Structure 1
Amino acid sequence: MVSLAINVDHVATLRQARGITEPDPVLAAGICELAGAQGIVVHLREDRRHIQDRDVRLLRQTVKTKLNLEMGATEEIIDIALEIKPDMITLVPEKRKELTTEGGLNVAGQKKKLQAVIGRMRKAGIPVSLFIDPDSKQINAAHEVGATFVEIHTGRYCDAATEQRRDQEFTLIATAAEEAYELGLRVNAGHGLNYLNTRRVAALGTIEELSIGHAIMARAIFVGLDQAVREMLALLPAR
């Protein structure tokens, strides 16, 4: 069965909107795990717009499944990752003006830099995933720089306005996942997945894990977080 990792950033976004202490993403992560999630994802951004250093430190102490730290390849965040030692990190592109991560990392255009970061993480025993578009050039570059995982960006598939375009984008995801798998990379996927479009991606045998956040948190407003997690898990096929 493909596993489900839940991004709890949006819990922190709601908290930061009021500048108070609630809701707590650390508590949310615990509820997600109790409901059956197999991993927790947080993005510690350079501008700290949602997840804070405190959150990551507490999550490292409390997450019982797997803690995946999304991050840009900046020296400050690299140092924090090396200190906290999450179960894995996912390197993503990061722009200050974006609402959320807008696209995949240009691995092919910064091989030397990423290879150095991966080498530092490897010495600390931290596997590295690279968040990339479903593109052969980026997959080959990810393999060349020594990544353990790639996370295929599913945003264009999720945002497709027509069925034809959605099918085209799904084919790109499926092909990219197969290419990465054949190179020996472990394959995850995420971005924009929801209760209507996840099942198709989850059925791909090359994908180990889906990272989903916004859809589950939005659903949780109406049915509660525990139920929202269980509903998403019910969409994932057994293998």
Structure 2
Amino acid sequence: MYDFNHHRPASVDDAVSALGAASDGKIMAGGQTLIPTMKQRLASPSDIVDLGAIAGLKGIKEEGGNIVIGAMTTHAAVAGNATVKAKIPALAALADGIGDPQVRNRGTIGGSIANNDPAADYPAGLVGLGATVHTTKRQIPADEFFTGLFETALAEDEIITAVAFPVPEKAAYAKFANPASRYAIVGVMVSSGPAGLRVAVTGAGPCVFRLSDAEAALGGGFSPDAVANVSVSSEGLNSDLHASAEYRANLVGVMLKRAVAAAG
């Protein structure tokens, strides 16, 4: 690990100032990706702006028909929150299936979506539920937030402050997990509610994507039978030592039917 300056601001404004003053500053939330990357000397930021001391970025509340989750709220806190479990149980289940207890108690929702790992669970949760990402500059619909492999719509000096999830009428998340890491080889979130019929897929491609054919099929009836004939092309999907593109394409259909059955 190379030398760096460490900042631990007490407010969002101070965090923005510290980030702006750094020559090559990086935000640290839970540190689940950044710290290992720095240890391997694959990243060498001049400054780390640690958000861990900003109390206003933590917590969960119900507001205006949405469940609003602070960016520094851990996966374990989302999974165990009574409001989330009552209003959006699919989101609580998604959070409870991330990694292991150590990861869930350190990793945060803001850090996860800012990193946008192609196998992460939260991108499917945000897109599949029609969430909105709140930052220090604006509000970004989830459909516009995730832009590519490890890429998002965030500007260099922009910090995520919260994520707002509309409460669906029904929703479920089904994941085929890597047995070691618990990352999604394929994960599918389905929902029906204020944001319409939505199906989002993670793990299969370089970035989370919506499955429009499945959404159209569910419009004729929300049941596993409605999506039985939905097929996914393997073209452009991820292929690695864990699963081929063809295997992932098949898994999308399997996870889709499981998610629809669980939601219905």
Measured against the shorter chain, the TM-score band is under 0.3
Q: TM-score, normalised by structure 2?
A: 0.26
Structure with more of its chain in helix, by fraction: 1
Give the greater-gyration-radius structure (CA): 2
Higher relative contact order (CA 8 A, sep 6+): 1
Give the TM-score of the pair, scaled to structure 1: 0.27
Larger strand share, 1 or 2: 2
